[in-house]
Structure 1
Amino acid sequence: MIITLPDTTTSKVTKTLVRIRDEAGAVALGRVLTLIIATSIGEEEDVIAAANDASREHPMRIIVVSTDRADADARLDAEIRVGGDAGASEVVVLRAHGDAARDQHGLVTGLLLPDAPVVTWWPGECPSRPGETPLGDLAQRRITDAAASADPLARLERLAREYEPGDTDFAWTRLTLWRAQLAAALDQPPYEPVERVEVEGPPDSPSTVLLAAWLRRQLQVPVEVRVVGDDATAGLSRVVLHRSSGPLTLERTEPAIARLTQAGQPTHELSLPRRTLRECLAEELRRLDPDDVFGDVLRSGLEPSA
């Protein structure tokens, strides 16, 4: 069910939510958090679809705050989605035009679930200091995506300089399977120290830089980042761990498959799919405490030239 409220107010949206709950039985019971999504008008549907999918694992209230240019006529249009149109969630879409977008804190405060954690997600361009924004200040976790920025590596450097506990980025989330496979490979014989590392990926790939930083910090060895190809959307492609017996190589050969090779061992084909927006979001919603490893990698693992 979708209810539209053109040229409305936050108070009217709240009253409509109460009426829906009373008349149709749509309740907030069982909702474990509030997810605020900050985006632009016209770019809501893909992120709502990802959040709806993630809500089947994390039932929540989704508040989408979408804005347009500041010189537009001031107006707030709203949309409430419940039932089959909202997955396991309640979705409130607030389209704030012009001056109506100035007080984003006030737009969402009355719609937050009581006594429930708040997560704020910027799926596109994000502010320099998410925690100091009106929507970020409300949240325990703040999710950004450096890869969606016009200059992903500059965004990553800025996040490293201004990191606050609770910040996270999908460039890090996309590395979960890579880190797990590399850690599992090093847990197998021969148990030799790694002497140096090569990490390969396209230009402007923040995930490539972050994996290099993580390996540099964990292994305490030189790590070289090599630029391969020119398709920034392709992501991280290859990691080589050099040991005395020979290199251990993990290389993505197909979109969902990677090949693991090392001296004296048979070659293994491993599942290493590219992670979807829904998978990244669902993973980040599993934890509401600060990701200390991510924070340490950002603050101490990035090289100045990254």
Structure 2
Amino acid sequence: MEKERLGTKSTRHDIIQKLYDRGFIEGNPIRVKPLGMAMGESLITNSVAAADPGMTARLEEEMDYIANGSRKKGEVIEDSRKLLLDLLDDLIRKSGKINEKFYEILNKEKVVGKCPKCGSDLVIDQGKNSRYIKCTGESNDLFFYLPKTGKIEITDQKCPVCGLFLIKVIRRGEKPELRCVDPKCSFNTNREVFGKCPSDGGMLVLRRSRMGTKFIGCSNFPACKVTLSIPQKAEIIPTDKVCKVDGFPNAIFKFGNREIEQCLNPKCPSRKENTL
């Protein structure tokens, strides 16, 4: 942004935050989302001046002229007003073509593969609090909710349990997770259910917070509020064993080549004897 003279040191953070808030970018490092890609390409394709960094650089240059006294504030304001009015006229005049190109590109960006049932395009889309993959065919042969966090990639591998395709979920700082596209398939659930909650008999399952943090929670939430913190970089594998000290299930914690079987409850006294 500094090279293109987009904003100033004091405004660039706010500009980037607005791109996050409006759904144009995501992640750290930054990745452009389909919405941002469609917006940018539709403006560039239609030669809209707003997409030209030179326009912003010109405005910043005019501000410098005021600061060094080579131009008067009133003159710069008048020039800027004319520039922005011309830009608005350009946007209004090309709005139809921009809108058409925007949705054309957006729909292409959402396509991630072909439906294994009917051969139509599969797209990833999102609602207010969820994202999902669906078939675009007339009969809508496939629809599944997806994990709320992480980048989703479709693989050419088939689920050994149900035969649907596997997806790869990529999250920063974690080993990529291979999952069946069907969230209820036992290929997923067998790795996410750790045993009975000693508090109320519900099942202790792997959960994620809105920020993507992993934890163990009871399936009877909110009636049961048992939650257990877990190491974020560890692979945690269920066992059929129960801790003799506090009644919580045991699990295998793997860090690369190191692994240890211990109680899921991080406050269990037995954990002091088994430190990674």
Task: Establish whether TM, by shorter chain, passes 0.5.
Answer: no
| Greater Rg over alpha carbons, structure | 2
Which gives a bigger RCO, structure 1 or 2 (Cα 8 Å, sep 6+)? Answer: 1
Q: Which has the higher helix share?
A: 1
